[in-house]
Structure 1
Amino acid sequence: MSKIYAVEYHYVTDKDEEMAAVRPSHRAFNGRLADEGRLLAAGPYVGTHDALIVVRAEDEAGALALLEDDPFQQAGFISERIPREWNPVIGVLA
């Protein structure tokens, strides 16, 4: 049975222009995962170089593997990914 994982992305801070060029591919990648039902939500934290990606996976390693082909990851724009199993008890994801 799959679980829900919140994966926090910490982006490098000196590549904003390069990231802007890759962002459409990054969003298309996330969109495909969402269409498949494996990505539940994604977006940046306002005013930071961080983002949150919420996915369905069997385990922590699976959550990271699911996101390995993210164009931002492939281009080296993500300095750290922190996966945490999340247990929503109220709301549409509960």
Structure 2
Amino acid sequence: MELNKEVLDCMKALRRRLREEQDVDIRLSQPNAVGAMLDGSLKSDDEETRRLGQRLAELSDQPQRASATPLAAVEIPVGAPSGSVRIYRGQRIYA
């Protein structure tokens, strides 16, 4: 995705509105900033925020999702090794 002035201006305006409405802090440097902004705009009751979300979806070539996509289920291994288990960045690490 190309970040030009029009995209950045739309992201800044949407970010400001989401912060005021929903107390959501999204940084433009986040790798998933556009997706988080699109999700926030879908949850908004304000028409202007929804319009900014639709404009950002058009500019970023990402379809605006009708609802939040559920996360994939994590498979638990049947024969889990014995010993200690810890979670590192969402992954099970068997020590």
Scaled to the shorter chain, the TM-score interval is 0.3 to 0.5
Compare CA radii of gyration and give the structure with the larger one. Answer: 2
Indicate the structure with greater strand content: 1
More relative contact order, 1 or 2 (CA 8 Å, 6+ apart): 1
Indicate the structure with greater helix content: 2
Tell me the TM-score normalised to structure 1 length.
0.38
Tell me the TM-score normalised to structure 2 length.
0.38
